[in-house]
A and B are shown apart, each in its own frame.
Chain A
Amino acid sequence: MPYRKSYRKLFLFLLTIPVLLFIFLPILWLFSASLSTQVELFTVPPHWIPQHPTFQNYLDIFFPSLAASAVPRTFTVSLYNSFKIASFVTVICIVIGSLAAYALVRIPFKFNNTIKVGILAIRMIPEVSLILPLFIIASRLEMINKPIVLILAYMSFALPYAIWMMAAFFQTVPIELEEAARLDGCTRLGILFRIVMPISGPGLVSTAMFVFLVAWDEFFYALIFTSTLASKTVPVAIAEFVGRYAVNITGMMAGGILAALPPVILALIFQRYIVSGMTAGAVKG
């Protein structure tokens, strides 16, 4: 019996190896290529580990010389744009979304259910169904390339998402606590800020992380609403590397690593909350 058990363990362990290779080999190759020179990248057969590793691609992004092309030179601007937009979207969603989520979960009123179902349905509307009117209005108001357009456009998917997720977390707060506070004369807002939000802290962290990640990830709106180098977000900047400036492939690899770092680090720090957030965010609360 113990023999069988250790064989079984060994067999299962051997099964994990291809999975880990599938996950990590592409990332390792991306990282290795970001440390290569263009010349070395094109060698046949490939050098899996660069023989002359260099941080030049990263240096070009952070300390651009005049020789560097426009895209690496403006990549830090894109990083800043993405940070700014994703942070604004996250803060606005948490602030106004938590009020709405609380009202939907705890206060009975006539259209409560209608609004709940409506928000779930709205969450499913694809971006492409909203883009034309938003684009038409934004161009009439001459707001293309302004960050406010992207912040507002991102609210269309981020806010219903955040409300739905926070509603799922608020529901788990014991109602007795709230009733006790109400008897002591606490207002609804007081209950929300002093009781419900502190108790569902992990849920709020999880929601904030998810909203930040989807805003950081967003490409479709950003592609259409930004056309100048100064206004692009990271995903658009990377797509630009691929398209127009296909010569600078190693630079794009470095840009890709830099664009992936913030969401990956966030997700690894808050890994405890990810699965509950995925389930709460995915259609059914």
Chain B
Amino acid sequence: MGGFAFQRKSTHIFDMTANSKAFPKRPFSLRQKEARTAWLLLVPSLVVILGVTLWPVIYTFVLSFFYAPTGIHQVRTFVGLTNYLNMLKDQTFWQTIGRTLYFTLGSVGLELILGLAIAQLIHSRPPGWKFLRVSLIIPWAIPTIVIGAMWRWIYSGDFGALNGLLMQLGLIKHYIPWLTLPNAAMPLVILADVWHMMPFVALILQAALATLPAELDEAAVVDGANAWQVFWKIRFPLLQPAILVALIARTVDAFRVFDIVYIITNGGPAFKTMTITYLTYLNSFSYGKQGTGAALSFLISLFTMIMAFVYIRILYRPEENQ
């Protein structure tokens, strides 16, 4: 790289980049010009992100310290930590957290186990594996609300496919209103979510399996390892980064579940499928308690961030130790 312009030195007294050691090879004026270009390119996106994301998050945080009844002309009063303290004392809150964890662990756990098994199945190249891989795309691509509506009618007590199937198999004598059974509702919602998102996990893991070198397997087989050992001792450790990606994406998503609960059960029966986002929605838009809603939604953000952080720490540590 040569040329006269490149050799000029910056004489600007406020040259903030002069001490930066990041990219020392380039002369200052060029670097400044580059930084200006970068900011120009970033401005449109940053304006949008500041406006629709950063500002609302801060606003929500501030709002969580106020008693804020719904309505434009209502007066807000500063109440300090009251919203948080009330929430922590409230049994409904802890039950909701428990149910949200139930949903998260149930759906993410099943999705990972089934996803890994199906990824391995595709990787073994049975006849028709390409068709299976394409088929997985379909449930993933269908909108969540359509999936929820579909399963709601499958579970329906009046005419549902589940009842019809069980009756024709002779397993039940009468139609059962599945979604009104307190202990059945949540597993049924989880099943619908697994149908929707298990393909996501399977496709990611299948792609990761395909990138593993085949020589490793062959070497292990030559050394006398069986298929089970090959999977757990060789492929599984190498799959960990991909599993981490799927795990974080799914956990963060599952913890904030709303759509599928809203459409299948509406949080019922008797709040048995009420999750934390649903409770926040009710507080903010039905019960008219925006302050409480804001406090709840701040907690959801916090949980989400912590979970992502913890996962990264836990799953990356073994690699460092080896």
- A→B interface (CB under 8 Å): 9, 12-13, 15-16, 19-20, 22-24, 26-27, 29-30, 33, 41-46, 48, 96-97, 99-100, 102-104, 107-110, 112, 115, 119, 121-122, 124-136, 139-140, 152-153, 155-156, 159-160, 163, 183, 188, 213, 216-217, 219-220, 223-224, 234-235, 238-239, 241-242, 249, 252-253, 256, 259-260, 263-264, 266-268, 271, 274-276, 278-279, 282-284
Contacts and interface: CB of A to CB of B under 8 A. Distances in A.
A16 B246 contact: no
The 7 tightest CB contacts between A and B, nearest first, are A12-B126, A46-B164, A267-B141, A100-B45, A133-B59, A109-B35, A235-B145
Interface centre among A27, A96, A126, A156 (most CB of B within 10 A): A126
Interface in B203-257: 203-204, 206-207, 241-242, 244-246, 248-249, 252, 256
Given A152-B48, A278-B204, 18 more contacts: A16-B132, A22-B195, A23-B136, A97-B45, A103-B38, A125-B57, A127-B256, A134-B52, A155-B48, A156-B56, A224-B285, A239-B262, A266-B141, A267-B137, A268-B134, A274-B203, A275-B203, A275-B206
Nearest to B277: A128
B318 interface: no
Nearest to A250: B153
Contact of A130 (B60, B128, B207): B60
A4 to B, nearest CB: 12
A283 B305 CA distance: 12
A27 B305 CA distance: 35
Interface string B117-154: 01001001011110110111111111111100111111
B132 A275 contact: no
A90 B102 CA distance: 35
Given A107-B34, A126-B300, A130-B52, A279 B245 contact: yes
Interface centre among A139, A140, A242, A268 (most CB of B within 10 A): A242
Chain A interface, >50% SS class: helix
Given A129-B60, A268-B137, A279 B204 contact: yes
Contact of B146 (A133, A223, A259): A259
Contacts of B200: 278
Given A108-B34, A238-B146, A268-B137, A126 B128 contact: no
Contact of A264 (B22, B141, B258, B294): B141
Contact of A279 (B55, B129, B207): B207
Contact of A42 (B22, B60, B158): B158
Nearest to B264: A242
A46 B159 contact: yes
Interface string B6-34: 00000000001100101100000001001
B41 interface: yes
Given A134-B52, A235-B145, A283 B45 contact: no
Nearest to B23: A108
Given A130-B52, A283-B248, A23 B45 contact: no
A285 to B, nearest CB: 10
